[in-house]
Amino acid sequence: MVVLLEQEPPTYESALAIAAGLAPHTIFPSDCMSPLPHPDLLPNAPRTYRFGVHQGVDFRCFSLGRSAVAALDGRVVLIVGDYQDPAPNDRDELLEIAGDLEATPPFTLLTLYGNFVVIDHGVFPYIGHVVTVYAHLHEVDPGVGVGQTIRAGQRIGDIGNRGTHAAANGDFYDDPHLHWELHINNQYLGAGLTAEQTREVYTTLFSESLG
Ligand SMILES: [Zn+2]
């Protein structure tokens, strides 16, 4: 039986073991800049504009036209492919609510993803339920459909900046990057860890990708 109730995040040692267990199945979800040397691009980095912390890994691309690909084999569970960026003032007012709460409300966080795809990778023995998120897409490939199986390395769409402050101001060329999240049993991998521990965990996760 798999327990999906909220649980304590894995300890550093457990998070490292999870990363090592997934590494043979996991590739970089883009060939853009490696985020591993940059704590600000990894989970747990502060995101003060929305009064929260980063839950994902940012692959910065510096130009449009780069591909987001599935990091592991799985099945598509959610697609937002017709995202409309909010007017700048409306976006600011949504974020003021985050300020009142001193946290990013979950559905506001979804709005900040722009176009995005979620892939369910099933349950891995001794690891748990694995889900990945691919956000700020410029476009989702029309061939990608909810429920479909997808292979590691298969293209999902074009990386962009939809959902960001710049996109709300009509600039789709500013800092295109893939925001990628890895969730284990409904928590992002790295929750509760220090910046250095998080970097070690994600370096282990992508160790096969790095050759
Ligand atoms: Zn991000």
56 alpha carbon – ligand 1 mean position (Å): 5
Q: In angstroms, rounded to a whole number, what is the distance separating the alpha carbons of residues 100 and 131?
A: 30
How close is the Cα of 149 to the center of ligand 1, in Å?
25
Whether the predicted pLDDT of 4 surpasses 70:
no
Q: Which residues surround ligand 1, an ion (CB under 5 A)?
A: 56, 58, 179
- Ligand 1 center from residue 150 Cα (angstroms): 23
pLDDT at position 80 is: 98
For residue 57, the CA-to-ligand 1 centroid distance in Å is 6
What integer pLDDT is reported at residue 7 of this predicted model?
78
Instruction: Give me ligand 1 centre to Cα 148, in Å.
Output: 25
How far apart are the C-alpha atoms of 201 and 19, rounded to whole Å? 6
Phi-psi category of residue 137: left, alpha or beta, with phi > 0 → left and psi -120 to 50 → alpha = beta
pLDDT over 70 percentage in the chain: 96
Enumerate domains of the chain plus CATH numbers: 12-205 (2.70.70.10)
Residue 177 Cα to ligand 1 midpoint, Å, equals: 8
Query: pTM higher than 0.75, yes or no?
Result: yes
Instruction: Answer left, alpha or beta for residue 55, where phi above 0 means left and psi between -120 and 50 means alpha.
Output: alpha
For ligand 1, the distance from its centroid to the CA atom of residue 1, given in whole angstroms, is 33
Q: From ligand 1's centre to the CA of 109, what distance in Å? A: 11
**CA 86 to centroid of ligand 1, rounded, Å:** 18
CA–centroid distance, residue 111 to ligand 1 (Å): 13
Q: How much distance in Å is there from the Cα of 134 to the middle of ligand 1?
A: 10
Confidence of residue 70 (pLDDT cuts 50, 70, 90): very high
Confidence (pLDDT) at 194: 96
Say how many Å lie between the CA of residue 58 and the centre of ligand 1.
Answer: 5
CA 72 – CA 94 distance, rounded (Å):
33
The distance in angstroms from the start CA to the end CA of the chain is 35
CA of 42 to the centre of ligand 1 (A): 8
60 CA → ligand 1 middle, Å: 9
| Size (the chain), residues | 211
Q: Residue 56 — pLDDT band, cuts 50, 70, 90? A: very high
Task: Express each pLDDT in 174-201 by its tens digit.
Answer: 999 999 999 999 999 999 999 999 999 9
Q: Tell me how crowded residue 208 is: count the other CB atoms within 10 A of its CB.
A: 13
What secondary structure letter does DSSP report for 133?
A: E
Q: Taking residues 70-88, report their average pLDDT.
A: 97
